[in-house]
A and B are shown apart, each in its own frame.
Chain A
Amino acid sequence: MTMDKQMQEELKRLFETKLNRAMRMYLETCTHCGNCVEACHVWKSMPETRYTPVGRSEIIRKVFLKYFKLEGKIAPWLGEVIELDDIALDRFYDAAYSCTGCRRCMVYCPFGIDTQMIMSIAKLLLIGADKEPKLLSMLADMSIAKGQDVESSQSGFEEAVKNLEPEVEALWKTAPGRKTIPVGTENADVLFVGLSGKDSIVPAAAILNAAGENWTLSSFEAVNFGAFMGDLERTKKIASRIIAEAERLKVKEVAIVECGTAYRVMKQQTGKHPFEVVSFVELIARYLREGRIKLDRTFKPRLTYHDPCQMGRNGGIYEDPRFIISNFVRYFIELTPNREMNWCCGGGGGLVAMGEPEFRMKSGRVKAEQVKASGAEVICTACENCRTQLTDLSEHYELGIKVESLTDLVAHALVK
């Protein structure tokens, strides 16, 4: 299928905007050694070449060869170059949205090639061709719109938050004279950024109150749909809402709810700020170390922990969750493999937000097998995407394992 010449030129221009130093190295260094193949949970569950990290990257690499390299022009057959057309874009979609951006392949690659970054080219070109997943762009645009018109949604937000207070009080009685869920408090030490659902706010509020923290709740949700789309502009706009709020309230720290992508975007991809960015898991671990909260060590079921890719392999948070677990769990079992080698759950990269139940369940087979082999009765994690995917996997594969949020378990284990 031939593409409109003007569109092709526009897509080539977009492609070129992504060719920074790292990307050029990633596109020019792969020797097709094949070591990355077995790293991908999708390939492990569905062994097709298109589901290998190198298979995905090759589609981009072959377009790069055709339009940006001399050898692609002189001897296109040598690299089997690909013309930028509608068929190529369909392959881009298949590659980009079958990759969760877990970056497990980076651990396997002898050069450390970042497939997630290469896939950001595919995602950008899909946006350019108006072929991106519409649900993601709609959600991203809604987030941006919310940031542009805070005042109109603020009163409704505060009222909704007020309704959550009894649930927070049930978990932990707030000290007299303090607000159960403070909103818009200036000079707070911590700005907690939750998700739109109450499940992310209630347990966190209980923990923050138990620690006697001077905190305030963000008016925005942490999740960044722009990052799932690989759209740097939207990603920045969505993150800038929280940054502006934190600066306006003059907070010392921004604590990101259990959401791996939101944490990584805020921590690593938005530059330097006058405040620190921490994951809520790090904050809980700090409260425990400082003796600001105590947990009841009576949790009896065999529990295992799933390292979310964006928090572990891509964020460096491995030990804090384990330290927290050691404070309230009697029988802890490690998944095999774990930490940087842990299998991706298969829900990242926007797949959970997009739905895609059939693909997620098929590609999550290896994860389901790993969880089953652990013999655990409960699996907890620190990422909402992972929690949703693990819950779906547990149901689909009849694993008989309960899936919990780490924050939620901590909130229910709080003692004086």
Chain B
Amino acid sequence: MLTDKLILFIAAAGDAVSKATGVAESTAAVGAAVSADAVSSATVANAPVTGLAQIFGRIEYFIMVPMVYLALLFCLAAIVLHIAAIFKAPAQPYSLRIYPAAKRPGLAAAIDAFGMPQIRRRKPVFWVFLMIFHISFLLLILGHLDILPQISLVPEASRDMLGAGLVGVFVTVPLFYFLFRRFRSPNREITVPADYLLLILLLFLCLFGDLMSWGNSWTANGFVMTKQDFAQYFGGLLSFSFADPRLVLHGSHYHFVVIHVLLAEVFFIVLPFSKVVHAFLTLPINMLRRK
């Protein structure tokens, strides 16, 4: 049913975009009266809708709505298949433990997985960046979920996302460190193109995210898009309304949102085939040396 609906909406995307442009025009006109930022969006909206703009509009709609579902569905299915393939394989016939033996193997494995003491002891600077990155990444996921009005960790009325942009920065800065440390020996020699590309993908994904959650507030008149705007977009996705996000995400920053969403989708698609799977395997793999 959902697939049929999806196909139908992809086909109808062109119409939706054309209509949405019209709505955006009027919305932008209203916005222009209250916000100087809306001037830019109004300029865009008032521009004649050429064939090219229509094509871009359709592409943006596809990225912002149907592809979100496709990428997430693909990611979930591929992760489940990937992990299932690993756990379907026969177990190791003998223990791979190292000694001294942990009194509580499960706890020891959890400390290894979440505290990374092996790195803290030998590369404390790397460890600090790793901890900041991983904790902030979890907060970032939470921050995105918090956009939904049903969760509301940050008051619904707040214009900011969780951390007011700081969480994104705490993810981005370590990514620069992770990338640049790969240029130094001996890390350079053990790095493959996939490692660089994954870090670059994450870096740009986060930079565009920062632009929205933090950089967004740099404009003279405050936020172009607020948490409430994103909540409406998320609400549309959650209710499978297939409404054009342009109706709720105003201003020229919309194109950056599209790029951010596109990069997130690419990330979701490559995730099951990338080293990011370590997130799902770190606990069971650490159990092998503890049990």
Contact = CB atoms under 8 A, between A and B. Distances in A.
Contacts of A29: 275, 277-278, 281-282, 285
Most buried by B among A20, A271, A313: A20
Interface string A268-292: 1101000000000000000000000
Given A20-B91, A269-B94, A33 B99 contact: no
B99 A21 contact: no
B89 interface: yes
Interface residues of B, number: 44
Contact of B122 (A28, A108, A269): A108
Interface in A351-398: none
Nearest to A341: B121
A71 B82 CA distance: 12
A34 interface: yes
Contacts of A114: 96, 288-289
Given A35-B119, A35-B123, A24 B275 contact: no
A34 B190 contact: yes
A312 interface: yes
Interface string B74-88: 000000000001110
A21 B119 contact: no
A66 B117 CA distance: 33
Nearest to B87: A21
A111 interface: yes
Most buried by A among B116, B186, B197, B281: B186
Contact of A21 (B89, B118, B122): B89
Given A52-B186, A58-B190, A70-B273, A31 B289 contact: no
Interface in A93-145: 103, 106-114, 117
A80 B92 contact: no
Contacts, number: 134
B190 to A, nearest CB: 5
A110 B98 contact: no
B264 to A, nearest CB: 20
A21 B91 contact: yes
Interface stretch (A3-11, A314-322, A408-416): A314-322
Contacts of A26: 285
Interface string A298-334: 0000000000000011111010000000000000000
B195 A32 contact: yes
A230 to B, nearest CB: 14
Most buried by A among B98, B100, B197: B98
A37 B277 contact: no
A22 B287 CA distance: 10
B288 A28 contact: no
B192 A78 contact: yes
A32 B192 contact: yes
Given A35-B119, A113-B285, 19 more contacts: A20-B89, A22-B96, A24-B89, A29-B278, A29-B285, A30-B275, A32-B191, A34-B187, A34-B190, A52-B186, A55-B189, A58-B190, A106-B289, A107-B98, A110-B119, A268-B94, A313-B98, A313-B99, A340-B98
Across the A-B interface, the 8 shortest Cβ-Cβ residue pairs: A112-B289, A316-B99, A78-B194, A22-B92, A49-B189, A21-B89, A71-B273, A25-B285
Interface of A: 19-26, 28-35, 37-38, 47, 49, 52, 54-55, 58, 69-71, 77-80, 103, 106-114, 117, 268-269, 271, 312-316, 318, 339-340
